Amino acid sequence: MPKERDDSGISRRRFLKGGALAPLALALATAGGASVYLRPGEAHGFVLRPPGAIAARRFLAACVRCGKCAQACPYHAIRLQDRSVGIGTPYIAARQIPCYLCPDLPCVKACPSGALDPKTTEVEKVRMGTAQIVDREGCLSIRGLRCEVCYRQCPLIDQAITLEPRHNPRTGEHTIMEPVVHREKCVGCGVCENACVLPKPVIVVRETVEVQRDSYDF
């Protein structure tokens, strides 16, 4: 009863389409997909996630890539990855806009799936990562200049970053005011990385490494 299908016969045009265009289309499609998924997500393997993000591997599964955290961020600091296996997951490009540590954590509240742990309530207990001075030779403050921008901009000034003054032997009469990161206080918000005045920031947020607590008692 239904009509004979139109595509039952193979016309010349259809042959061309099916025969030549289809493989081409598939090849282009594969290239397109590959360019999205095979490009590296983050060069040094660490992605700065929004506050309260659960451990990296579980985060990738728990995050449903809905972008609500990004929409909740008043500073537009949270962006969504557009490549690799983490596609659609939120991250913070601290050099562009760091996390300003809203006390009410709107991003955590927005997260539906628990990828940002809803038990996160105190912003100062957050561990997004840990700031680290990665180029001590480049750091202007360590070279004796009065920079210390990272220290003064740190939202946990005098806790997460302190200044440790020491004599500057080169001039003989000045002080080197070295910014020192305290990993037990640093939340990894990236404000320091954002503020660093050098073209390649010498203080950057890296993965928080759990320090082995020794139990030696002397």
Q: Which residues within the stretch 171-190 sit at the binding site for other proteins (CB under 8 A)?
A: 171-175, 177
Compute φ and ψ for 164, nearest 5 degrees.
-110, 100
Q: Is 7 in the site for other proteins (CB under 8 A)?
A: yes
Binding segment toward other proteins, per CB under 8 A, in 42-50, 55-63, 128-136, 181-189:
55-63
DSSP state of 21: I
- Residue 137 interacts with other proteins (CB under 8 A): yes or no: yes
Per CB under 8 A, 80 contacts other proteins:
yes
Alpha-carbon dihedral of residues 111, 102, 41, 183, nearest 10 degrees? Answer: -120
CB 53 to other proteins: min, Å: 11
Site residues (CB under 8 A) for other proteins, limited to 16-45: 17-18, 21-22, 24-26, 28-30, 32-33, 35-37
Binding other proteins (rule: CB under 8 A), the pick from 155, 183, 185, 208 is 155
Number of CB atoms found within 10 A of residue 34's CB: 10
Residue type, 208: T
| Window of 125-133, 147-155, 180-188, 210-218 that interacts with other proteins by CB under 8 A | 147-155
CA distance 24 to 94: 41
Closest CA to 213 of 181, 180, 183: 183
Applying CB under 8 A, among 41, 93, 114, 127 the residue interacting with other proteins is 114
How does strand 174-181 pair with strand 78-80? unpaired
Q: Least CB distance from residue 146 to other proteins, whole Å?
A: 4
